[in-house]
Amino acid sequence: MTLKNKKIILGITGGIAAYKCAELVRRLKERGADVRVVMTNGAKQFITPLTMQAVSGNPIGDSLLDPSAEAAMGHIELAKWADLVLIAPATVNVIAAINAGLANDLLTTLCLATSAPIAIAPAMNQQMYRASVTQQNLASLELRDIRIWGPGSGEQACGDVGLGRMLEPMQLVELVEQHFVPPQPKFKILITAGPTREAIDPVRYISNHSSGKMGYALAKAAHKLGGQVTLISGPVSLATPDNVERIDVVSAQQMHQAALSKAPEVDIFIGCAAVADYRPATISDQKIKKNDDDMVITMIKNPDILADISTSASARRPFCVGFAAETQDVEIYARGKLQRKKLDLIAANNVAIAGQGFNSDQNALTLYWENGQLDLPLADKEQLATTLMLEILNHFHKKS
C-alpha cells in the first residue's frame, strides 16, 4: 500500500492512449490511492465515463458548468482535495492550454486552482512532439515545476515510430510512488537571508532594505536541486519554501550564533543576509524620549558571520559563498571581500541600479572567484537563484 491515503486526480484528455487509463486507475487503487477522474470532451470519445467511474469508485468530473457540482464550487473543492494531479494522456492541445494559463474546461481550471504538484504524461504523434512550439511549451512547464513524465518511444497508433507514446500504466504508477517518497539529499546547505534589526530601545531599531527574496529563492532552488536546506532568516514577510527548515532570528548576534551552530553540519554555506555591520553599544530598557535636537548613539561592531565560518579551523568548514551589495566600484569591493574573508565564491550586485537588488523581484549578479568571474544578467530572482545555485554546485564539486 505504497500510496495509502494519497489523493490523486487523474486528468484524461483526448488521445488514443486514454484506453490505458482504466488499468492505470486500477493499479493506483491497488496501492491504496483514492483516485478522482476528470475527463475532457475529447477523452470521452476514446473511453466512457461509466468505465472510469466503475474502476475508480468515484463520480467522474467532466464539466465546469455542472450545476449539481458547482452549487458548492465543486472545482475549487476538488482542486484543494488533491495531493497530486496527473494528466495522462496529455495531448499537445492540453499542454499548450496549461502553458498559456487557459481555464476553458474543468481540467485546465483545476490546474490553475490547485496548489498540488502537477505531472503530465505527453502522448502525441512523434512529429507533433518534436515541433518547436511543443518543446517550448514543455520547457516552460518544467520551469514552473510541472513534472514531465515521458514520453516513451515506439510504434504509434498512426503508424509512425518515435517519441510520443504515453508511458505504460505501471511506469506511471512507479513515478507516482517515487513522487511521494522524499529523495535523499545530495548535499546539505545553510543559507542566511533577509535583514537584521539592531535594537535602540523597545520600539526603535536600525535595519536595512533587504526583503529576503534572494535568499528565499536560493533556498527553494537548492531544495529543487537535491539539497537539504536550512534557512536562517531575519525579519521578513515571506512564506517558508516547501521542505526547508527555517530558523527565525532578529539581530546580527542571534544570526551569528545560529549560523556558527549549524555550519559544521553542512557542505555549503551561503551568506545572503544583509547583516548589520554595527549595533548600538547600549539598548535602553525604556523608550527614549525626545528631549534634545540631537541624539548620539554609540555603535559597536557586530561579529562577522561569513569570516568566522570561512576561517574556522573546524575540519567541517563548509564551502563558503558570500554576497556583496555595493553602490560603486563593485568588483574592487567584491574581490577585496572575497580575499579578506577567505571565501570560495562571492556574488556581487550594484544595488544603486533601479529595479534590481533590495525590495525588487529582479536582480543581476556577477560571480567572482580567485581566478575568474561570471556575469549573471538581470532576471527574475527565482530564475537567477537556480542559475546561481547550479554555478555554486559546479564550483563546490570541483573543489571537493
**Mind telling me the catalytic residues?**
158
Query: Which residues in 303-317 are b (16+ Cβ under 10 Å) and which e?
Result: ebbbbebbebeeeeb
How many angstroms separate the Cα of 276 from the Cα of each of 16, 241, 280, 367?
A: 62, 24, 11, 23
Q: How many residues does the chain have?
A: 400
In angstroms, the CA 247 to CA 255 distance is 9
Give SS3 for 64.
coil
Cell 481550471 locates to 109
Which residue intervals of 154-272 are DSSP H helices?
A: 169-179, 213-224, 252-262
Q: Which regions of 166-318 does DSSP assign to beta strands (E)? A: 187-193, 198-199, 205-206, 227-233, 244-248, 268-271, 278-280, 299-301
Torsion of CA 257, 261, 264, 266, to 10 degrees: -90
